[in-house]
Amino acid sequence: MNIEIINKLDEITNLIDNDKDYKRMQELKSKIESNKELLSKIDKLKKIDEYNSEYVDLKKEIINDNDFKEYKKLEKDLYLFIIELNKKLNTLKEKGI
């Protein structure tokens, strides 16, 4: 791969690492991992049939958790960014750059 592309990827990685949303996502992940009640609900959810009303109610509780909700939004944004980045990299690769 072209050295310029490698350098640009390193630059992008550093920008992401220092991005306020990415840092917020890391903070939220730590908060979620330390939230015993939320983790218990997530574990319980995995054991319930998804067509059960208890499953639906429990999932609503999890999704309505503010930290979880914000984390998932940031996660989605990062995922979409990575998809776009991969598309651009594949285009460069196809061009032989």
**0.75 surpassed by pTM:** yes
Q: Are 35 and 29 in contact (CB under 8 A)?
A: no
CATH of domain 3-94: 1.20.1500
pLDDT digits (tens, 9 = 90+) for 57-69: 999 999 999 999 9
pLDDT reading at 97 higher than 70: no
State the sign of the Cα–Cα–Cα–Cα dihedral 48, 54, 55, 59.
Answer: negative
Q: Where are the domains of the chain?
A: 3-94
- Phi-psi label, residue 67: left if phi above 0, alpha if psi -120 to 50, beta otherwise: alpha
pLDDT digits (tens, 9 = 90+) for 10-49: 898 898 999 999 999 999 999 999 999 999 999 999 999 9
